[in-house]
Structure 1
């Protein structure tokens, strides 16, 4: 009896402790919204559009605040100086990812480069990607492919303008497939492209903050039937994992077959396999190999397409920006050819269009979270080991409280935010601005921060610049449907998930020219560029 009494008292004490302390905010933490016992702030994080709520809290609690996720802690950064001080300057302890049962156990096995823990496998991924997607290698090997794919995108817009939502996706996916796997995406119905984007849409919804039960903070939730707490969350996640493994595994098998039958090519995955075969050191297993290639394909496909679609929205909603870009292109390039990467230094307004599109509608408005490996302090605030660190990209790009001086109207698409003026060189590319010692020099946070910055940034920057330069040189864009104004509301007009893309919108696409003769001349320029791309580049791919 005495033992039972003691056990009962101990159990009661544990329950009382949980009620009193679990979910409460330590006084040493940054401030934040009021908590509830046990769950902390979990009930306040919306399953959709959580970045808007995070930005609302930043306005109230400041550039650093804390959330209690049950027994866990999250730190939210919406301050440029703090992102620089913590994520960049202390990257040795801020480069990990929080463990996620859904993403690590159910979907990727921990081998997805975006969510992989900071360790040997992730470092190998970064080593290979840095070697084969360096600025030098991109400009020597990949820019001709990007230029050719841009030519086809313009041809596609010209002959099938009603498919304007898909053409940028084909463009970016074909660049990714060609440079990574040695396989093109020749048209919008190519099976691997459709499979990838369908899977990415489901992956994005599953991974948005607040969209799955908090099983990482309350492990007992594993044992509750999934339909009770989260709309079959486990089945949805497992389905995404099956689709990833199937697609990426097939691409690796096709690569092995092509290498055996036709030999190697100058692609990323070919070079990785060449290195492993040359040294005899199989540093990555099959699952890691195909996830490295597959997740590089994800990043190179989805982000560029989403930014192009958002940028077209902005250029159409504020047509004076479109006109200004086209005047610059006409002055420098003329109607007889398409822009090339060699024109970069002479088209600073086009560069400003790229930067503004990245700022105005970031693809990841709440960057994928970091995790801190040691206890830390900043400005008198305690950051406990294991805390989840969110970089609130939307707030950094849109909240007037946290903007640099050049961003004067954050809700408006206005490339003048980054335009240095006619005759002046463009601002440096994003990778150069990200390493500036002054955080206010940074153009945007679309590529991440610290050691987790996008390793394909050199390819992505050229994807976007060539895409916008080509589209603006070739076409006039205007709204269609009821009224002529495109809806750009971030909640109504954009998809859900941690990756955000414009929903279907109406668009009129007209070949540029003041007279029928000028329009026909530009059509012939597009046709000729497409034929050159076919002869010089596309013919290499079976």
Structure 2
């Protein structure tokens, strides 16, 4: 038993000492949980039962809690006594995407090193021109839409952007889904996270015996996605073979060099799993965080005007952020997304599992007990954040927050904590800063529906059901840069 996860209590308890909603025999609470909206039900029960309660999913007990200090203790201890291996790894392995995100135990650290070494090779300073180019491309697309008075479905717009950025980082190839209509890789990625969410909540793998239309679609999409990855592995190997002195230019090439070292313990399957993990994680979470940000921006014209002035000041005559050194001047724009994530957490809850008997918060957990940590309750708690229901990005300014009441930054766990903190958090921050500074310099943002028509859907990440937006051009913004001529061999790291 691990006492380090215990918070002081008068006496130890078991899960059966905790309150629990009424359940049915055999299935427990499964009949109450719609996978696409289960976060709302879990949060409602947390309000009813005071933040910690017992859930029953068929034959498995779940501890549901919302204490961020307890979450920090649990996350620091991973993967020793608490992990998510039994909960999601079999599903991820079946789909061929069991990279660093799904790895636990002895497998995790080597995969983490593989990912971090491959990302270090890219050096953000040399990768920045690619993000800038893709942001300028998005600006041109949005300017054309604004001139025509079109309503844009911004979730899809932003996913196209993040797919282009993450593909360039991962594969060294820019698929240009922003300008390429029709059947793009993004369309095939879209079914994966909803399928994972649904399968995670099933008490047994029904899809092994009965494939529904959604399962068959997933199989088709996975076939395309894996073929996409294998094609790029073949190209990367060819490039490394033809020009070995140049070294790796992207995450994929760095992974392949590591995999090919004698005794590495990795193979091409590990590479596919990890580059697809980068692609899925990078496109989904950042795009949805930005989409939720637009919901709040569109309802606050005064905030838009203030940030427009800041964007003009920070960017000067440039249409988009022109240099890596400028990124640090765009804190206020990342704060817009951080505040949106506080109210609409893209990671609605974190699912874990006890690998051995342990205590969490003074509650004894047998092996196999699941834990759901709910992110939002603490993030909208007035004891932790002043005026918690108010969208106020200035609370994330170091100069403002301490003097403006409660501000418990430790309660914000959207990128995780401990050794498993998200390796892509820096990339996400850069994308948020570039997109939002570009958007607010050039456009007024107007929601093309009522805010209450936008629902929260849980597709592994928290997704808006829709985000229709009309953009209006501002008169005093700089023109969009012209598209550069496409080089004969595309590379985001300046090698031509």
Same fold (TM over 0.5): yes
Q: How does 1:367-386 map to 2 (within 5 A)?
A: 367=350, 369-386=351-368
Max Rg structure: 1
Equivalent of 1:198 in 183, 187, 190: 187
Q: Indicate if the aligned counterparts of 2:378 and 2:384 stay in contact, CA closer than 8 A.
A: no
Number of residue pairs aligned between Structure 1 and Structure 2? 472
Please identify, of 231-240 and 61-70, the stretch whose mean Cα deviation from structure 2 is larger.
231-240
Deviates more, 1:91-100 or 1:39-48: 91-100
State the alpha-carbon separation in 1 of the partners of residues 95 and 199 from structure 2: 17
**Given the alignment, which residue of 409, 413, 416 partners 2:394?**
416
| Structure 2 counterpart SS, 1:509 | strand
Question: CA 1:119 to 1:538, structure 2 compared with 1: closer, same or farther past 3 Å?
Answer: closer
Give the 3-state SS of the residue equivalent to 2:190 in structure 1: helix
Who is 2:255 aligned against?
Answer: 272
Q: 1:154 aligns with which of 136, 139, 164?
A: 139
Aligned pair partner of 1:467 in 432, 435, 441: 435
Distance 1:83 1:506, change over 3 A: same
Residues 443-467 of structure 1: CA deviation (Å, up to 9, x unaligned): 6322234443322222222121222
Give runs of aligned pairs for residues 67-466 of structure 1, distance below 5 A. Answer: 67-89=55-77, 91-100=79-88, 103-104=91-92, 106-108=94-96, 111-120=98-107, 122-134=108-120, 138-161=123-146, 162=150, 163=152, 165=154, 166-188=156-178, 190=180, 194-208=183-197, 213-215=202-204, 226=210, 231=212, 235=216, 238-239=219-220, 241-260=222-241, 265-277=248-260, 279-336=261-318, 338-339=320-321, 340-367=323-350, 369-398=351-380, 400=381, 405-410=384-389, 412-421=390-399, 440-442=408-410, 444-466=412-434
Relative contact order higher in (CA < 8 Å, ≥ 6 apart): 2
Question: Which residue matches 2:5?
Answer: none
> Is the counterpart of residue 500 in structure 1 residue 489 in structure 2?
no
Separation (CA, whole Å) in 2 of partners of 1:93 and 1:366: 19
From the superposition, tell whether residues 508 and 238 of structure 1 become closer, same or farther in structure 2 (CA, over 3 Å). closer
Aligned counterparts of 1:105 and 1:336: Cα–Cα separation in 2:
45
Distance (Å, rounded) in 1 between the aligned partners of 2:213 and 2:37:
21
TM-score (norm 2): 0.82
Q: Per the alignment, do residues 244 and 476 of structure 1 end up closer, same or farther by CA in structure 2, a change over 3 Å counting? A: same
Query: Residue 435 of structure 1 aligns with which residue?
Result: none
TM-score, scaled relative to structure 1: 0.76
1:226 and 1:233 in contact (8 A); partners too:
no
Deviations 1:33-54 (A, max 9, x none): 2333322222222232100001
TM superposition shift of 1:84: 1.3
Aligned 8 A contact 2:117 2:254 in 1: no
The answer as to whether partners of 1:133 and 1:459 remain within 8 angstroms in 2 is no
TM-aligned CA distance change 1:63 to 1:533, over 3 Å: farther
Distance (Å, rounded) in 1 between the aligned partners of 2:234 and 2:491: 24
How far, CA to CA, are the matches of 2:487 and 2:463 in structure 1?
30
Tell me, in whole angstroms, the C-alpha distance in 2 between the residues paired with 1:275 and 1:67. Answer: 43
- Cα contact 2:15–2:365 (8 A) shared by 1: no
Q: Is the 8 A contact 1:106 1:241 kept in 2?
A: no
Distance 1:126 1:407, change over 3 A: farther
Q: Is the Cα–Cα contact under 8 Å of residues 148 and 537 in structure 1 kept in the other structure?
A: no
Greater alpha carbon shift after TM alignment, 267-276 vs 161-170: 161-170
Deviations 1:115-141 (A, max 9, x none): 334332x3222102222335x964333
Partner Cα separation in structure 1 for residue 57 and residue 88 of structure 2: 13
Structure 1, unaligned stretches of length 5 or more? 1-24, 426-437, 481-485
Give the distance between the partners of 2:186 and 2:76, measured in 1 at CA.
31
Higher strand share: 2
Q: Against the structure 1 CA distance between its residues 505 and 250, is the aligned structure 2 distance closer, same or farther, given a 3 Å change threshold?
A: same
Quickly say closer, same or farther: Cα 1:138–1:487, change in 2 above 3 A. farther
Once the two structures are TM-superposed, the CA of residue 506 in structure 1 deviates from its matched residue by 3.2
SS of aligned partner of 1:147: helix
